[in-house]
Amino acid sequence: MKTVVENVTCTFCGCLCDDIIVEVEDNRISRVRRACANGRGIFLDYDPTPRKPTVAGREVEWEDAVSAAAEILVRADSPLIYGLSSSACEAQRKAIELADLLGAIVDTTSSVCHGPTGLAMQAVGEPGATLGEVRNRADLLIFWGCNPAASHLRHFERYSLNAEGALVPNGRRDRTMVVFDVRPTATAKAADQFFQVQPDSDFEVLTALRALVQGREIESDSVGGIPLERLRDLTEGMKACRFGVFFMGMGLTMSRARDINVRELFTLTAQLNEFARFIVMPMRGHGNVAGADQVLTWQSGYPFAVSYARGYPQYGPGEFSAVDVLVRQEADAALILASDPVAHFPRAAAMQLKRIPTIVIDPVVNLTAEGAQVFFPTCCYGVDAEGVSYRMDNVPIRLRGALPTVRPTDESVLDAIIETVKRC
């Protein structure tokens, strides 16, 4: 028999589209409507069949796997807990509780994407808004160092360029779109104006825009490869708009100057509020990376790269970031929650992960799980489990499961490990 489940949330990216319709037949999702090509696989490729956990590649009972994981973590001098961004907030808070109990380092995927954004936010504040406000009000959209036409495929349709809103009833025709990037992209093709920035020159361009907004003169014909006249015209457009938005991506956070780039953008945004309503929003990648920032901040006071080794949370981007900890060979055991660092980390960090005992909690067998000492095949939040995720604008979304929950959740596995560690 076929059942149709409406208003399911896709957790693939930070858009968290919550209007997905799925059809379920024989406890499998047979059809998905409204999800984009990036998100469809989450539902269609997912096999909810219960599986046993493994220890050293052999299937074992769940209690035995929990004991093995607890033993690894208790024996370690400096355990690392990493990932979190593709799990639900309920599991994230358990992972942090476990880090606190063990005196471990806990880090999220933020440290390799928007960590610099967090640093800038702490330094100068973040003029923000919700995607609902953007949809209903924004008449000037500026995408900087991001390519949502490839990474967040429904962003234009649901929240920005093509969305029809209360004060922009004609959608695309009521909005102006500008793109800054180091190369032409699919997003740039959709823009009214494209500014090609010389690589690693974003800071200079942002500083020039700040100067122009303040009415200062610049003794140069171009900045970062962009003619000054074009920047001056854009500045006038920014001052004259009603509601402007900067959507920023890893082109800013992971190029030279990193958090200093972002700090400059946030400061520019704050200055523009003298003339028009202007906000900035990071384009978050993983479905609940914004939630990982939120949960770690409310539990420890800091958004990523936190060590509990001294019995209280210490913040140390660069010192307690997972890549740095692994490259320096300081972690002697790792628990990876819903992430695949072996596939994405620099080689030296990935090799260290392969050398130390690793525990993986994940719905799918990824590269990191293949080499794990202990692997827990859990359910997938939003597909066969309920939970909470934060959208890229930090609005919490309640996830409903489309399938019955037959596998353990990340939260329940972490809870069992916590209780076992307490008894060790």
Residues that bind ligand SF4 (CB under 6 A): 10, 12-13, 15-17, 35-36, 38-39, 152-154
For residue 137, the SS3 value is: helix
Q: Specify the residue, 188 or 397, whose C-beta has the smaller distance to ligand SF4.
A: 397
Residue reference for tokens 């827990």: 376
d(CA 385, CA 121): 33
Q: Specify the residue, 360 or 392, whose C-beta has the smaller distance to ligand SF4.
A: 392
For residue 388, the SS3 value is: strand
In 338-416, which ranges are E strands? Answer: 358-362, 374-377, 387-390, 396-399
Q: Specify the residue, 94 or 286, whose C-beta has the smaller distance to ligand SF4.
A: 286
**In angstroms, how far is CA 91 from the centroid of its own chain?**
16
Q: Specify the residue, 65 or 141, whose C-beta has the smaller distance to ligand SF4.
A: 141
- In the complex, which residue's CB is closest to ligand SF4? 39
CB 131 to ligand SF4: min, Å:
12
CB 157 to ligand SF4: min, Å:
9
CB 35 to ligand SF4: min, Å:
4
CB 288 to ligand SF4: min, Å:
11
Q: Dump the DSSP string for 305-350.
A: -EE-TTSS-EE-TTTT-HHHHHHTT--SEEEEES--HHHHS-HHHH
Q: Specify the residue, 14 or 118, whose C-beta has the smaller distance to ligand SF4.
A: 14
d(CA 189, CA 207): 26
Q: Specify the residue, 19 or 324, whose C-beta has the smaller distance to ligand SF4.
A: 19
CA-based nearest residue to 381, from 146, 84, 156: 84
CB 320 to ligand SF4: min, Å:
30
CB 11 within 8 A of CB 35: no
CB 128 to ligand SF4: min, Å:
20
